[in-house]
Amino acid sequence: METTRFSSIDANSLQYWILLGGLALATLVGVLAAHHMDLEGHHISGMSNQIVWGFPHVAAIFLIIAASGALNVASISSVFGKTDYKPLARMSGLLAIALLVGGLAILVLDLGRPDLLIVAMTKYNFKSIFAWNIFLYTGFIVITVIYLWMMMERKMNKFIKVTGFAAFLWRLILTTGTGSIFGFLVARQAYDAAIMAPLFVIMSFAFGMATFILVLMASYKWTHRTLGDVMLSKLKNLLGIFVAAILYFVLAYHLANLYATEHHGIERFILLDGGIYTFLFWAGHIVIGCLVPLALVFIKPMSQSRGMTMLAAGLVIMGGIAQLYVIIIGGQAYPLVLFPGMEESSSFFDGVVAEYTPSIFELLLGFGGICLALAIVTVGIAILEFLPESLSDKALSLDSARSNSI
Amino acid sequence: MRYKLDLDIEEVNTDRRDFLRRAATVGGLAIAPGVILYQTGAAKPADQAVSSQQRWGMLVNTNVCQEDCDACVTACNEEHGLWDLGRPETDAQWIRKLNVKDKQTGHVTSLPMMCQHCENPPCVDVCPTGASFRREDGIVLVDKHTCIGCRYCMLACPYKARSFVHEPLQDQLPHSPRGKGCVESCTLCVHKVDRGDNNTACAEACAKDGHQALLFGDLNDPSSEISKQLKQHGGTQIRADLGLNTGVRYQGI
Ligand code: SF4
Ligand code: SF4
């Protein structure tokens, strides 16, 4: 019986080089935009002393949590023993690393002093969850590389399970850590919630799966390999479950907040009268990011169409970005409360909702990071054997029959 | 371009170089228990270290603080070279006048708001590199050499007391070094404290205008005016619920 055959993709086509060239160019433009902000100072960005984390952080945090979610497929196969997903495990590891690198690149380039990165790498304040995250991120990359190596080197295959388990645990901690960055901000009404960490974990599952589906479909289509319905519908159903879970957690978060009187202000702001944030919450996050994809994934006949699955994955990503925009920027825009129940005003925008419009430089930087991640995948699958030659229904049934018989 | 800050530093006089070196030293040693070598300029003997025997603080009497007065703000800006670039969203403000209106009664209290020099500062807790630090004598500062400009401390500060330097700087003042891409906040005029002035620019300006709303002093010294005032009349912490034990206290709120 035959096992899955992996091979690198053929990089000699014009289309391949156009794709890679485009991604590289967009990455370069992102770097230049960041450099320009760095030279001129951040006043040319949309950020201010009120909104200190802008669109680049939205993009970066999206990529970082999607990275840990992208590793899901690999975890399902090696940790939970679902061998059907095994052929996809390598790709899942590659995508995870690529997304994380893209996200980290944005974070670093958006620092006020990116030249002091070496300080960030050598001086740690262990009380800071941010410092812990630096370890978590580098550790994630190292563990995933080892995990990939175990999978790709036949001799090492016996270690797949234990490294897979390590990677799985690590990435749960990583996303919890990312969520905690916000959870620790006790004074900010929007973030002062323990549910932030599990919410981020479940968001990572959904965003990672959506990205994985899109990348997988595109790479199989463009390389003329077969992606069978069986595999795709499994992934699609998982995506649907994760999206439903996000809805559940978001509901729990807002209900908990509505229960506490001190949070009524921020709840009103997000759910009712926060302008762009209210709009992004309902239209972007809830409708486009959750309800529509759920319908596309679970209701016939949409659920039977590949195009609709692709659309659903794309919408989950857009909705995810909207959701993070609301959490990160909306949470800062809502004024800090120094004197509960009083009306505050000052020259420093106390008591008023802070304005923020992303500048072109921030958009280019965020977009550049996303393109960097995709470029890494594009190069990766061309030089190493990440992709199975076929994911047709027939190939998969043979494969799982074989694994099950071991 | 990135090295601009360091070049600037080399250009200025010894006083400022010393400050920076000291700041760096303290940043590096801030976690060491006990005495930290924080050698000061001419005014203070070099062997006299910053110690936790002092806790510098400030008492604000909002009853005498005038709504239309911003002498403290102007004085701070001048003392530290915080030039107004006409961009209120991004210009640094270490101290600001805050008006607090009771919705029920319409009564307005006016007060200066700045870094509260917390004993348990959230900004220090979250800072990944340890650039935000608290001196033994209670003054919370940012080490410009290790601040990477991540701005996490700005999100963490419950008082919105911090500013990010959004533009290249000109005409910096030697005793109060700043850096593009770094975060900064009220230093409690640490250069004046170390010089032995025993006062801050804002409190001096307030007194000069005849309001006497700001009182600087040592909270650990029972015989200091600020301790006596606090003992007699009490003083409130803003957002005391957070348990930060602020060094800046308010009366009349
Ligand atoms: S007031 Fe803000 S900046 Fe000052 S010590 Fe407290 S947390 Fe830090
Ligand atoms: S901006 Fe600077 S001082 Fe503030 S948390 Fe980041 S490194 Fe620390």
User: Tokens in use for A100?
Assistant: 């994380």
Query: For chain B, what is the domain count?
Result: 2
**Predicted pLDDT at A10:** 83
What's the complex ipTM?
Answer: 0.90
B188/A2: higher pLDDT: B188
Q: Are residues B27 and B152 in the same domain?
A: no
- Provide DSSP, A45-97: SS--SS--S-HHHHHHHHHHHHHHHHTHHHHHHHTS--GGGGGGHHHHHHHHH
Q: Are residues B130 and B70 in the same domain?
A: yes
Residue B190: is its pLDDT beyond 50?
yes
Mean pLDDT of A353-363: 96
CA pair distance B215, B247, nearest whole angstrom: 12
Whole-number Cα distances in Å, A149 to A70, A157, A374, B126? 17, 9, 21, 35
Residue A307: is its pLDDT beyond 60?
yes
- Examine residue B240 and state whether it is found in any structural domain, yes or no: yes
User: Tokens in use for A387?
Assistant: 């992709």
Mean pLDDT of B192-200: 94
Sequence-distant (≥ 6) Cβ neighbours of residue A362 within 8 angstroms: A33, A37, A45, A46, A47, A54, A55, A56
Instruction: Look over chain B and give the mean of its residue pLDDT values, rounded to a whole number.
Output: 84
CA pair distance A69, A56, nearest whole angstrom: 20
Residues of A in contact with B73 (CB under 8 A): 347
- Examine residue B20 and state whether it is found in any structural domain, yes or no: yes
Taken in order A40, A46, A52, A54, the sign of the CA dihedral is: negative
pLDDT tens profile A231-290: 999 999 999 999 999 999 999 889 888 887 778 888 999 999 999 999 999 999 999 999
Residue A3: is its pLDDT beyond 80?
no
pLDDT tens profile A143-201: 999 999 988 888 888 888 888 888 889 888 888 888 888 877 777 878 877 788 888 88
Residues of A in contact with B103 (CB under 8 A): 341-343
CA pair distance A171, A166, nearest whole angstrom: 9
CA pair distance A121, A138, nearest whole angstrom: 10
- Examine residue B202 and state whether it is found in any structural domain, yes or no: yes
A108: nearest CA in chain B? B150
- Examine residue B81 and state whether it is found in any structural domain, yes or no: yes
* Amino acid identity for residue B93 in this structure: Q
Q: Are residues B119 and B185 in the same domain?
A: yes
Q: Are residues B134 and B212 in the same domain?
A: yes
pLDDT tens profile A197-220: 888 889 999 999 999 999 999 999
Domain containing residue B88: CATH number: 3.30.70.20
Chain-chain contact of B88 with A347 (C-beta, under 8 angstroms): yes
Mean pLDDT of A63-88: 87
- CA proximity to A249, closest of A204, A200, A211, A302: A200
DSSP B168: -
Distance B158 CA to ligand 1 centre (A): 7
- Examine residue B51 and state whether it is found in any structural domain, yes or no: no
Percent of chain A exceeding pLDDT 90 equals: 58
pLDDT tens profile B205-246: 999 999 999 999 999 999 999 999 999 999 999 999 999 999
Q: Are residues B218 and B158 in the same domain?
A: yes
**Predicted pLDDT at B8:** 37
What range does the domain containing B37 cover?
1-41
Q: Are residues B153 and B187 in the same domain?
A: yes
- Examine residue B14 and state whether it is found in any structural domain, yes or no: yes
Residue B15: is its pLDDT beyond 50?
no
- Examine residue B63 and state whether it is found in any structural domain, yes or no: yes
Q: Is B177 left (phi over 0), alpha (psi -120 to 50) or beta?
A: beta
CATH number corresponding to A7-336+349-388? 1.20.1630.10
| CB distance B238 to ligand 1 below 6 Å | no
User: Tokens in use for A190?
Assistant: 């929007």
Q: Which of B145, B183, B185 to mutate to test the pocket of ligand 2 (most atoms within 8 A of CB)?
A: B183
CA pair distance A376, A147, nearest whole angstrom: 18
- Examine residue B173 and state whether it is found in any structural domain, yes or no: yes
Q: What share of chain A is helix, strand, coil (3-state, %, to 5)?
A: 75, 5, 20
Count other Cβ atoms within 10 Å, centred on residue B178. Answer: 19
Measured in degrees and rounded to the nearest 5, phi and psi for residue A339 equal -125, 95
**Strands (DSSP E) found in chain B:** 56-61, 95-102, 108-114, 132-134, 140-142, 163-164, 183-184, 214-218, 248-251
